[in-house]
């Protein structure tokens, strides 16, 4: 065998795969991996079928079909009051994860430092390291998981290239507010930095809060890439269709990487999405839809010894089990899956140093029957 010096020596199978497999093996309810268990819109399925039958089955243009990019540019302009050039500022990607990777591959050079906030989605750190960058992990603390902008300033040096943010946040359900974005804007303008903003849950925000996109702030938008996901918005995570919105000078570089990582995203789904976006009701009601699911899940766990943390967005609820067990969160997640037949995700896996606050993440993007069964288990703890 050839000896390989692994570029990611400590990376194994993702926790999502591990817990989903464990849930299957032990016939447990799977609230670990973040995907809905209810159907995609029949109208959207019909639009895909229509485009398949119409013969739209060959390569799409590398940046994405004009119809979809035009729809996105129009929505961005209306939503965030940011005039957006569909041709030069919108790129369709194979999910939000590819948009993130392509951006990092295009912009991060050997030795560049990238600031990210833990708990963070598990693709961020490996994407930076695979491209020669140096991840700089700043830790957020429960229950609010707020960013200390003073700490951010203290970590900036001549090697800092990029700051990664995520709002609404996976796994915590926290959201950034207007003062956060203004603080971020001040920092990146002063230090000539780039922001990579993971906004895949932009439409899933609760309690009358307004999503604070980097695209809303002109100076910030001029130095930012915003990443979105149709999989999250339309309950179709398996389609892997997302997009990146950025100024032309950044988009040009991102597309250089994108064309050699994915080249293009499947054509009939792009065209179907373009048609589906013509009705704003197909995405503007999403926050209310998931807020009801969050509230339903919280109602189901009343009487449990588990304590819910604030959740203002995404479709994940954190629960503290400190009053129940002294097990580590990984041990607790495994025990719950095997013995109680309910699979969560341990939050420590989202920290680079595996900080354990005895928190578990539960996905509530499920039908009410599933959430009722999960609640019945949790109430007995």
Residue 3 has pLDDT above 90, yes or no: no
Q: Measure the N-to-C terminal CA separation of the chain; round to a whole number of Å.
A: 49
What token pair was written down for 264?
């293009």
How much is the pLDDT for 53? 98
How much is the pLDDT for 279? 96
Residue 192 has pLDDT above 80, yes or no: yes
How much is the pLDDT for 29? 96
Mean pLDDT of all residues in 205-229: 98
How much is the pLDDT for 5? 87
> How would you classify the pairing of strands 242-245 and 224-229?
antiparallel
How much is the pLDDT for 15? 83
What is the tens place of the pLDDT at every residue in 298-357? 999 999 999 999 999 999 999 999 999 999 999 999 999 999 999 999 999 999 999 999
Q: 378 pLDDT band (50/70/90 cuts)?
A: very high
Mean pLDDT of all residues in 176-187: 98
Q: What are the CA-CA distances from residue 369 to residues 23, 29, 372, 377 (Å)?
A: 17, 11, 5, 13
Residue 13 has pLDDT above 80, yes or no: no
Q: 34 pLDDT band (50/70/90 cuts)?
A: confident
What is the tens place of the pLDDT at every residue in 158-174? 999 999 999 999 999 99
Q: Which residue has the higher pLDDT, 306 or 37?
A: 306
How much is the pLDDT for 129? 97
pLDDT above 90 as % of the chain: 93
Q: 9 pLDDT band (50/70/90 cuts)?
A: confident
Residue 264 has pLDDT above 80, yes or no: yes
Nearest to 60 by CA among 275, 238, 259: 259
* Average pLDDT of the residues of the chain: 96
Q: How far apart are CA 254 and CA 234, in angstroms?
A: 25
Instruction: Please report which residue ranges of 85-177 form alpha helices under DSSP H.
Output: 86-89, 95-107, 124-130, 149-155
Contacts of 26 (CB under 8 A, 6+ apart): 337, 338, 341
How much is the pLDDT for 12? 79
What is the tens place of the pLDDT at every residue in 43-54? 999 999 999 999
How much is the pLDDT for 179? 98
Q: How far apart are CA 48 and CA 323, in angstroms?
A: 49
Mean pLDDT of all residues in 31-38: 89
Which of 17-26, 142-151, 271-280 shows the lowest per-residue confidence on average (mean pLDDT)?
Answer: 17-26
Q: Write down all domains in the chain, each with its CATH number in brackets.
A: 15-40+284-378 (3.90.1150.10), 55-279 (3.40.640.10)
What is the tens place of the pLDDT at every residue in 270-286? 999 999 999 999 999 99
356: left (phi over 0), alpha (psi -120 to 50) or beta: beta
């Amino acid at each position: 065998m050839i000896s390989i010096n692994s570029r990611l020596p400590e990376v194994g199978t993702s926790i999502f795969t591990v817990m989903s497999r464990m849930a299957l093996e032990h016939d447990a309810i799977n609230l670990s991996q973040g995907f809905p268990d209810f159907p995609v819109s029949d109208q959207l399925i019909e639009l895909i079928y229509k485009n398949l039958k119409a013969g739209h089955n060959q390569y799409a243009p590398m940046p994405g079909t004009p119809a979809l990019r035009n729809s996105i540019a129009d929505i961005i302009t209306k939503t965030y009051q940011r005039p957006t050039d569909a041709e030069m500022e919108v790129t369709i990607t194979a999910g939000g994860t590819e948009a993130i990777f392509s951006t990092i591959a295009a912009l991060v050079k050997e030795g560049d430092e990238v600031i990210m906030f833990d708990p963070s989605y598990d693709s961020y750190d490996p994407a930076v390291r695979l491209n020669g960058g140096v991840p700089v992990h700043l830790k957020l603390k429960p229950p609010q998981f707020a960013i200390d902008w003073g700490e951010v300033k203290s970590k900036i040096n001549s090697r800092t290239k990029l700051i990664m943010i995520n709002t609404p946040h996976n796994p915590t359900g926290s959201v950034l507010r207007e003062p956060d974005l203004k603080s971020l804007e001040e920092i990146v303008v002063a230090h000539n930095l780039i922001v990579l903003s993971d906004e895949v849950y932009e439409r899933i925000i609760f309690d009358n809060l307004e999503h604070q996109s980097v695209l809303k702030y002109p100076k910030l938008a001029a130095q930012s890439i915003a990443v979105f996901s149709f999989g999250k918005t339309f309950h179709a995570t398996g389609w892997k269709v997302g997009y990146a919105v950025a100024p032309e000078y950044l988009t040009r570089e991102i597309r250089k990487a994108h064309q050699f990582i994915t080249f293009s995203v499947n054509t009939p789904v792009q065209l179907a999405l373009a048609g589906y976006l013509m009705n704003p009701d197909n995405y503007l009601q999403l926050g209310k839809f998931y807020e009801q699911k969050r509230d339903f899940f919280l109602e189901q766990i009343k009487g449990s010894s588990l304590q819910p943390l604030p959740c203002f967005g995404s479709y994940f609820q954190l629960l503290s089990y400190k009053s129940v067990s002294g097990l580590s969160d990984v041990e607790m997640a495994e025990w719950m899956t095997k013995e109680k037949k309910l699979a969560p995700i341990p939050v420590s896996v989202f920290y680079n140093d595996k900080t354990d606050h005895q928190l578990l993440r539960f996905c509530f993007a499920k039908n009410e029957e599933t959430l009722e069964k999960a609640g019945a288990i949790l109430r007995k703890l």
